[in-house]
Structure 1
Amino acid sequence: MKNKHFLTAQDVMEMLGISLFYAYKLIRRLNAELEAEVFVTIKGRVSTKYFIERIYGMSTDKEVG
């Protein structure tokens, strides 16, 4: 999954060990959150960065300190 800007439902399914149906449902939910913040989304795909932030609670940006 390295260097992928967007994840498909198949990617999400494999990463989380969930069904394909639930992976699509999760992508729709995450994309709805992004659309509410006025971001452009792609149906059936989710931003890898946003996915990691929301699912794992980790920022993908390196902090300078």
Structure 2
Amino acid sequence: MKTTMFRGVIKTNNYFIEAKEISKILCMSKAYAYKVIRELNEELKEKGFRVVRGKVPRVYFKERYGIDEN
């Protein structure tokens, strides 16, 4: 996990999940993982959230795919 310092606040780059990790979790291709990201980002846009292209919030991905944190 990569950490960065911004204005005295330590941030981890663990908030978003990217296609590479999604493809491993779902045992699918990276292209399919990008499709999943696009679909989840569309759902978030419809709910009024801003999205980051090519990434999706890790918590939202796990919630939608029924992945338990434990």
Category of TM-score, reference length = shorter chain: 0.7 to 0.9
The structure 1 segments of at least 4 consecutive aligned residues displaced by more than 2 Å after TM superposition are none
User: Highest Rg: 1 or 2?
Assistant: 2
Structure with bigger helix share is 1
Structure with bigger strand share is 2
CA RMSD of aligned residues (A): 1.8
TM-score normalised over the length of structure 1: 0.80
Q: Which structure has more RCO (C-alpha within 8 Å, separation ≥ 6)? A: 1
Q: How many residues are aligned here?
A: 58
- The gaps in structure 2 that reach 5 residues or longer are 2-11
TM-score normalised over the length of structure 2: 0.75
- The gaps in structure 1 that reach 5 residues or longer are 61-65
